[in-house]
Structure formats: C-alpha cells, structure tokens
C-alpha cells in the first residue's frame, strides 16, 4: 500500500472513530467503564449504562478495533472490555482540562447543524446565522466547564499582569466577561472573588437566561447578565469606563464586526484597566501553521462554524485560525497601545493577549 493510501485508510478510520467516540461520550460510556474499573461483559456494561446491548456490542467493536478499549476474555471464555486508566484520563468528565473526549462531539455536532448550509455557502460566500446551531451554546458550556473548572482561578488569573490582577480582584474591582455564553467562567470568578462585581455580556438570549438562572441557583449575588450586542457598545455613555478588567474567552474571532467589538471593549475600560483576549494559538499565514498539531481539526471547526458565523450580516469572517499577526494588528487598530502576547503553560492551544489602552480620548454620545 502506498504511503498516501495508508494515510487515507487512517483518515477514514479516525473519522469514523471520532463519530463513534462522540456517541460514547454523550452516553457517558467511558465514564461508566472507568467507574466499573475492571474488564466487563457487554451485559454488565448494558446494565450499568442502561443502554441497549446490541448497539453497545457494535460500538464496542469500533472501540476495540480502534484500540481505545481493550478486548479481553474472562475465566469462562466470555469477551470482556476494559478501558485502560491512561485512556480514561483523556476521555472522561473527571479529566478536567485533560478531557479531550468532550471535543469528539464538536465535528459531529457542527455537521448535524450546518453541513447543508455550509455546502450552500461554499458557492455563494454567504454567512450562516448563529441560530442555525441550536445545540452549540450547550456544547460550549460543556467545553468551558472542562477548560475553566480546574485552571481559571488557580492557574490563569494569577499569571495576569504578574499577579497584580488577582490582588485587585481580591480587593474588589468591576469585571466584564464579554461573550460569556452560559457564564461558566464568570461564576467561577464571582465565587472566588466575592468583593468584586461581575457582568456577563452576550447577545444570545437563551445563554444569558440560562447563565442568570444558574447564578441564582448557586446563590451568586455579585454577578449579573446583560443581553447586548458587543458591536453596539462603542461610544455609548452607559458603557463608558465601566470596568477595570474585561476578559473575552474564545469570543472575538467569530464576531461579525470584531473591530467594532474591540473598540467597544476599549471604551468600557476604566483608566488603568486591562483586557485579556484568549484566542487559539496560530499564525495568520497558513504556511506558518504547517506544524500545528491540530491544524486540520481547528480549520474544520472554523469552516463549519466560526467562519460562517463571522461572515453573517456582511461580517468580516476572521475564522478561528486568524492568528497572532492579524489579532495584534486588529487590537492596535482598535486603540490598544500596549499588547503583550504570551503562551500559557496550562493551555498550549491558546494565546493570551493582555491589552491596555493608555490614551483616553473617548467621545461619548
């Protein structure tokens, strides 16, 4: 078999595995196998998971030939299945920021939402509205939970502005999470820093409603949510100088009008305020991304979601892989005079752009 034929075989197998693993992840089969913590028969797995044994058996066929799960035999010669602990730590919900299982859902979800629309848009160049992705917010919340739960408070925030931000948060400052989605990050921060006040901004009504309900249920009194188009903030007096710290996790590249949004963020920063933009670590030229370990995956997520959403409403369409050079240029154009771009030890796939606007020449209407 030629090298390329081998590669094609791998592609077909790995694409199929991704889909099957997503089904397994959704039904929590990896978590159940991990909890069983011993080789188990199909009927044992079926009774622990309440899933149908015939479907399970087929699914397990994929997992054993794909070498995700080990196929063994018990003393009676019956086939048993075992999820090795070193695999479980990447596939189960308890994996925290190591949990890569959660990402197996992304391509199948985007395919289900937008395959037809993307195929059509390929010919017309049209954008696709966010509303075409009905389950996306829920999925983002799951990702956010896996991403932020174990690292946001203890690893990310202490690095911002050489630890000074954490001290200010402890003393009490005004914070905004822009594009907050279900408010996972905001809730963690609000609980950790009770003297600070937090505002989550998003233009997605269900996400904001859900975030506010979750805050209420958790008894969080220092976080509120605002339904607001971030592209419609710049120049408005009610937003002027309102926050000491603004963060935007994964929320700038898929904006239709990112420059307006960044100008709005600058407008909302109080004197001495800082802005953290967290975006995928990539370069702006494709040629510079050849060695990116997740290049095809991230460009595909972008093709199926970030790019079409960003092209909506005559949008800019940056795409998720817009890269460091374009990001820094856009931040400068928005008026941030100081930009420090750093890699993050706990998160090798993103970059942290720490921005300051020192010259205050705002006009408000």
Ligand X SMILES: C[S@@+](CC[C@H](N)C(=O)[O-])C[C@H]1O[C@@H](n2cnc3c(N)ncnc32)[C@H](O)[C@@H]1O
Site map for ligand X, 185-204, x if CB under 6 A? ----------------xxxx
In whole angstroms, how close is the CB of 250 to ligand X at the nearest point?
4
Q: Are 48 and 41 in contact (CB under 8 A)?
A: no
Backbone φ and ψ for 180, nearest 5 degrees, come out as -75, -15
In whole angstroms, how close is the CB of 346 to ligand X at the nearest point?
15
Binders in 9-28 for ligand X, by CB under 6 A:
none
In whole angstroms, how close is the CB of 350 to ligand X at the nearest point?
10
- Of the pair 244, 250, the CB lying nearest ligand X is at 250
Largest CA distance in the chain: 80
Number of residues engaging ligand X in binding (CB under 6 A): 18
- Of the pair 148, 166, the CB lying nearest ligand X is at 148
- Of the pair 199, 251, the CB lying nearest ligand X is at 251
In whole angstroms, how close is the CB of 305 to ligand X at the nearest point?
8
Binders in 205-234 for ligand X, by CB under 6 A:
207, 229-231
Q: Any contact of residue 347 with ligand X (CB under 6 A)?
A: no
In whole angstroms, how close is the CB of 17 to ligand X at the nearest point?
25
In whole angstroms, how close is the CB of 175 to ligand X at the nearest point?
14
Q: Are 308 and 128 in contact (CB under 8 A)?
A: yes
Q: Nearest CA to 338 among 359, 351, 353, 355?
A: 355
Binders in 251-290 for ligand X, by CB under 6 A:
251, 254-255
For residues 79 and 84, what is the distance between their CA atoms, to the nearest angstrom? 16
For residues 50 and 207, what is the distance between their CA atoms, to the nearest angstrom? 31
- Of the pair 92, 312, the CB lying nearest ligand X is at 312
Pairing mode, if any, of strands 70-73 and 79-82?
A: antiparallel
Backbone φ and ψ for 275, nearest 5 degrees, come out as -125, 125
- Of the pair 20, 251, the CB lying nearest ligand X is at 251
Binders in 100-119 for ligand X, by CB under 6 A:
none
The correct pick among 25, 198, 249, 299 for binding ligand X (CB under 6 A) is 249
- Of the pair 140, 190, the CB lying nearest ligand X is at 140
Q: Are 320 and 280 in contact (CB under 8 A)?
A: yes
- Of the pair 60, 309, the CB lying nearest ligand X is at 309
- Of the pair 140, 223, the CB lying nearest ligand X is at 140
The correct pick among 250, 317, 336, 357 for binding ligand X (CB under 6 A) is 250
Q: Any contact of residue 144 with ligand X (CB under 6 A)?
A: yes
Q: Are 324 and 316 in contact (CB under 8 A)?
A: no
* 78-84: long-range pairs with CB below 8 Å, 24+: 78/41, 79/41, 79/42, 80/39, 80/40, 80/41, 81/33, 81/39, 81/40, 81/41, 81/42, 81/45, 82/33, 82/38, 82/39, 82/40, 83/30, 83/33, 83/34
- Of the pair 31, 250, the CB lying nearest ligand X is at 250
Within the chain, strands assigned E span 70-73, 79-82, 174-178, 197-202, 223-227, 243-249, 269-280, 338-344, 347-356
In whole angstroms, how close is the CB of 281 to ligand X at the nearest point?
15
Site of interaction with ligand X (CB under 6 A): 140, 144, 179-181, 201-204, 207, 229-231, 249-251, 254-255
């Amino acid at each position: 078999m030629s090298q390329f034929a081998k590669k094609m075989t791998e592609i077909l197998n790995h694409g199929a595995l991704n889909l099957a693993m997503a089904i397994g992840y959704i039904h929590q089969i990896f978590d159940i196998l991990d909890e069983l913590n011993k080789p188990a028969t199909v009927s044992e797995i079926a009774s622990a998971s309440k899933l149908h044994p015939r479907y399970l058996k087929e699914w397990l066929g994929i997992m054993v030939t794909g070498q995700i799960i080990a196929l063994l035999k018990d003393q009676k010669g019956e086939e048993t299945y075992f999820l090795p602990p070193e695999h479980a730590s990447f596939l189960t919900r308890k994996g925290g920021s190591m949990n890569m299982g959660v990402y197996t859902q992304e391509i199948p979800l985007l395919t289900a939402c937008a395959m037809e629309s993307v195929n059509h848009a390929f010919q017309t160049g049209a954008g696709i509205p966010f509303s075409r992705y009905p389950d996306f917010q829920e999925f983002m919340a799951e990702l956010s939970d896996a991403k932020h739960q174990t690292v946001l408070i203890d690893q990310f925030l202490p690095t911002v502005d050489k630890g000074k931000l954490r001290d200010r948060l402890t003393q009490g400052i005004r914070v905004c999470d822009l594009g907050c989605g279900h408010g996972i990050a905001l809730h963690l921060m609000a609980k950790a820093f009770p003297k600070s006040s937090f505002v989550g901004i998003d233009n997605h009504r269900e996400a904001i409603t859900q975030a506010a309900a979750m805050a209420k249920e958790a008894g969080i009194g220092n976080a509120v949510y605002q339904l607001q188009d971030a592209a419609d903030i710049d120049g408005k007096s009610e937003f002027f100088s309102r926050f000491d710290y603004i963060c935007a996790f994964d929320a700038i590249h898929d904006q239709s009008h990112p420059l307006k949004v960044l100008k709005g963020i600058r407008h909302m920063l109080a004197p001495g305020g800082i802005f953290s933009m967290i975006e995928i670590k990539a370069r702006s030229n494709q040629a510079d991304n050849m060695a990116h370990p997740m290049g095809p995956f991230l460009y595909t997520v972008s093709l199926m979601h970030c790019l079409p959403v960003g092209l909506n409403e005559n949008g800019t369409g940056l795409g998720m892989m817009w890269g460091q050079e374009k990001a820094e240029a856009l931040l400068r154009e928005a008026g941030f005079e100081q930009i420090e771009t750093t890699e993050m030890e706990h998160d090798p796939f993103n970059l942290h752009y720490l921005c300051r606007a020192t010259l205050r020449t705002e006009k408000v209407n």
